[in-house]
Structure 1
Amino acid sequence: MKVIYLVNQYPKISHTFIRREIKALEQQGLNVVRVASTNNPAELVDQEDLDELPKTRLLVKGQAKALLKALVKISLKKPGPFFSALKLALRMAGRANYRYVHHLAYLAEAALLLEICEAEQVEHIHAHFGTNPAAIATLARLLGGPTYSFTVHGPEDFDHPAELSLSDKIQHAAFVVAITSFCKSQLFRWCDYNCWEKIEIVHCGVDEKMLNTVSTVYDNAATEPRVFINIGRLSEQKGQMLLLEAMKLLKQRDQAAVLKIIGDGPFRSQLENYIRTHQLEQSVQLLGAKSGDDVRDLLDRSSVMVLPSFAEGLPVVIMEAFARKKPVISTLIAGIPELVKPEKSGWLVPAGNAEAIADAMMAALLLSDDSLIQMGETGFQAVMSEHNIDTEATKLKRFFERYAGVER
């Protein structure tokens, strides 16, 4: 079976979970054609991402003439489907603050995508995210393309669901993947009850390389000071500024701890200013973007993951921390409580509360070595049973085989 994987940007440093999913599906015999609107090779730090570049076909970057040609061709060859797709594109644009240029561009991308489908004899399209990739897949379907599905992660998908026309995308899809039960419930809010049966849960997962902790985990539970680690894009929604406030509170309480932050983004300068202003240079390190191997090594050398996000789906970095047997401190939002169990595999705190974050970090600092190790083991078992990428890819492959080519 041949399936197109459609993503807005691929490969991408924050789309490791998509790469894992693709590779797991290929290991199970699925033929996956990678298609992205664009990419940015300069930002990539992981060799596995770099290896994906030549495998990925682009719809926008360097494709202006091809897009125009494909749009004109489909309008002449299939005028009926073209005007149906155009009508939907304009309706979507009207809901999205009248972004007509963007949605006409999506229509052109859909036309070019249809040519790839025909050339590759693709049976099904699977898009990641309910934003523009799902729009392009929907329009390609109306142009006469193959059946499609898409994975919804959140939180962006739920910030403006009406503007994203989620209901239309779900209606025309063969099926829709939600990554958590919470995610599934949010999709129920934005589609007709008759479409609820289309929504399936498939978790994001970690691979054997991340789960293999037999010979690589450092026994550093007793290391003083203990090391907290945060992984994610440096942005408002990830809550790193509150994490720095929590570190300031720990300092005021005379508690020794180290915080290592992995990632980059638009909030870096604000974080740097806060660190300087509050003299946290000795306890907080901004490490920038790191490769997968570096992330594993830094997780192994840490004690606890801290993720104080304001908006999430279910962060893959929590799965990665558990895969390396590290307890997690995170916020009581979205799908996070489905994986992190308070006092068993970590701590959950109210979002937006720096003092609660500091209290949880204090609890981790005061926890015995044996208890910290046991919490990490509990998290590891949860990921093994619920977020193993091979198991989740098997579910997804079964849905492709069941729904590809089927009108629903």
Structure 2
Amino acid sequence: MKLLYLVNQYPKISHTFIRREIQALEKLGVEVIRVASTNNPDELVDAADRDELPKTRLLVKGQAKALLKALVTEALKRPGKFIRALKLALVMAGRANYRYIHHLAYLAEACLLLQISQQEKVSHIHAHFGTNPAAIATLTRVLGGPTYSFTVHGPEDFDHPAELSMSDKIAHAAFVVAITHYCKSQLFRWCSYPDWKKIEIVRCGVDAQMLQVSVDEVSVPNDRPFRFINIGRLSEQKGQMLLLQAMKVLCDQGVQAELHIIGDGPFRGQLEDYINQQGLQNNVLLLGSKSGDQVREALDCADVMVLPSFAEGLPVVIMEAMARKKPVISTLIAGIPELVTQDNGWLVPAGDVQGLAKVMIQATAVSVENRVRMGQAGYHAVSEQHDIDIEASKLKCLFERYAGGA
């Protein structure tokens, strides 16, 4: 079987879970063609991501002539199907606040993707995210391309599902992957009842390297303050400003704790300003983007992961923290409670600074023995629910069942 994986940007530092999924499928004997609209090699810090660059074909970046040629060729070659795809693109654009230029660009990408699929003799297309990749896959199918499916993560997929034409994307798809039960329930809201049967749960996963933790790696030095770690893009939805406010509460109450934040993004300047204004320079470190090996090392040296997000699907960094046997503090939203429980962490209401600070203080008072117990519970939960090899096997079965269907 030959699959084509379609992503808006790949490889990407925040899309390592997609790389793991592709590589797990390849271990199972599936041939995977990688296609992305664009990528940014300069932002990649992980060697494994850089290795994906020469394997990935681009639809937009540097492809202006190829896109125009594909658009004209397919319009002349299959006018009936092209007109149907054009009409659908215009309908989608109308729902999306009349973004006609964007959707005509998606149609051009679909024409080029159709040609790539035919050249590579692709059996099935799988897109990640219900946004523009799913739109391109849908238009490719209407043009006469292979069957397709797509994985929905959230939260962006659920912010404006009507504008994303989610119901049309599901209707044309062979099946749709939801990464949690919460995600599945939201898709039920935005498709017709007969299409409910298309929604399948396949979870994001961590690989064997992340799950290989020795006893020594669980131990952390006791000659430093209690260390919280936060990993993620520096943006409003990840709640890092709320986390800094909570750290200010801890410092004001004399709690000996430090916070290491890994990641980068548009919110960095505001976080730096707050740290300087509140005198948190000795308590909070903004470490920037790190490679996979560096993330594992940072998790092993931390005591508790804290992720006070306002909007999520189910963050992969929570799975990674649990794979490294670390308790997790997070918010009571979306799919997070499906993994974080009182056995392996703490859940707080989103947006509650005092509630977050209270739980962080409680975490610093938990004995090492109890933290180890919680870490073990998290490790067992993520091993059972988020092993990438197991989840890839589920995906392979779905691809084999639906690929090439009518």
Identify the TM-score tier after normalising by the shorter chain: over 0.9
Answer yes or no: is the 8 Å Cα contact 1:245–1:354 preserved in 2: yes
- Partner of residue 369, structure 1: 368
In structure 1, distance between residues paired with 2:249 and 2:215: 36
In structure 2, distance between residues paired with 1:148 and 1:218: 42
In structure 2, distance between residues paired with 1:89 and 1:38: 21
Q: What does the per-residue CA deviation read over 1:105-155, in whole Å, with 9 as the maximum and x for residues that have no partner?
A: 000000000010000000000000000000000000000000000000000
- Matched residue pairs, number? 406
In structure 2, distance between residues paired with 1:196 and 1:222: 52
Answer yes or no: is the 8 Å Cα contact 1:221–1:369 preserved in 2: no
Whether 1:387 and 2:406 are equivalent positions in the alignment is no
SS in 2 for 1:150: strand
Report the residue type matching 2:356 in the other structure: I
SS in 2 for 1:15: helix
In structure 2, distance between residues paired with 1:104 and 1:162: 19
Q: What does the per-residue CA deviation read over 1:310-347, in whole Å, with 9 as the maximum and x for residues that have no partner?
A: 000000000000000000000000000000002x1000
Instruction: Return the offset for 1:228.
Output: 0.3
- Partner of residue 404, structure 2: 405
In structure 2, distance between residues paired with 1:100 and 1:384: 45
Instruction: Return the offset for 1:405.
Output: 1.4
In structure 2, distance between residues paired with 1:373 and 1:360: 17
Answer yes or no: is the 8 Å Cα contact 1:221–1:373 preserved in 2: no
Whether 1:305 and 2:315 are equivalent positions in the alignment is no
Instruction: Rate the CA distance shift 1:331–1:133 in 2: closer, same or farther, 3 A.
Output: same
- Partner of residue 62, structure 1: 62
Q: What does the per-residue CA deviation read over 1:175-234, in whole Å, with 9 as the maximum and x for residues that have no partner?
A: 000000000000000000000000000000000010010266141174541110000000
In structure 1, distance between residues paired with 2:55 and 2:209: 22
- Partner of residue 206, structure 2: 206
- Partner of residue 245, structure 1: 245
In structure 1, distance between residues paired with 2:228 and 2:221: 11
- Partner of residue 225, structure 2: 225
Report the residue type matching 1:388 in the other structure: D
Report the residue type matching 1:52 in the other structure: E
In structure 1, distance between residues paired with 2:40 and 2:215: 35
Q: Which structure 2 segments of 5+ residues have no match?
A: none
- Partner of residue 117, structure 2: 117
In structure 2, distance between residues paired with 1:151 and 1:219: 37
- Partner of residue 147, structure 2: 147
- Partner of residue 325, structure 2: 325
Answer yes or no: is the 8 Å Cα contact 1:92–1:163 preserved in 2: yes
- Partner of residue 192, structure 1: 192
Q: What does the per-residue CA deviation read over 1:279-329, in whole Å, with 9 as the maximum and x for residues that have no partner?
A: 001110000000000000000000000000000000000000000000000
Instruction: Rate the CA distance shift 1:221–1:315 in 2: closer, same or farther, 3 A.
Output: farther
In structure 2, distance between residues paired with 1:386 and 1:218: 21
Question: When the two structures are superposed, what TM-score results if normalisation uses the length of structure 2?
Answer: 0.99
In structure 1, distance between residues paired with 2:62 and 2:224: 52
| Alignment of structure 1 residues 3-402 onto 2, 5 Å | 3-214=3-214, 217-220=217-220, 222=222, 224-342=224-342, 344-402=343-401
Answer yes or no: is the 8 Å Cα contact 2:218–2:324 preserved in 1: no
In structure 2, distance between residues paired with 1:97 and 1:27: 42
Answer yes or no: is the 8 Å Cα contact 1:243–1:354 preserved in 2: yes
In structure 2, distance between residues paired with 1:186 and 1:68: 37
In structure 1, distance between residues paired with 2:52 and 2:385: 27
RMSD of aligned Cα (Å): 0.8
The more displaced of 156-165 and 216-225 is 216-225
Answer yes or no: is the 8 Å Cα contact 1:174–1:403 preserved in 2: yes
In structure 2, distance between residues paired with 1:202 and 1:252: 44
Identity over aligned pairs, percent: 70
Answer yes or no: is the 8 Å Cα contact 1:177–1:200 preserved in 2: yes
Large movers: runs of 4+ above 6 Å: none
Answer yes or no: is the 8 Å Cα contact 2:230–2:261 preserved in 1: yes
SS in 2 for 1:340: coil
SS in 1 for 2:51: helix
In structure 2, distance between residues paired with 1:223 and 1:374: 21
Answer yes or no: is the 8 Å Cα contact 1:216–1:300 preserved in 2: no
Report the residue type matching 1:54 in the other structure: P
Question: When the two structures are superposed, what TM-score results if normalisation uses the length of structure 1?
Answer: 0.99
Instruction: Return the offset for 1:68.
Output: 0.5
Report the residue type matching 2:73 in the other structure: K
The more displaced of 218-227 and 16-25 is 218-227
In structure 1, distance between residues paired with 2:80 and 2:221: 65
Instruction: Return the offset for 1:69.
Output: 0.4
Report the residue type matching 2:372 in the other structure: I
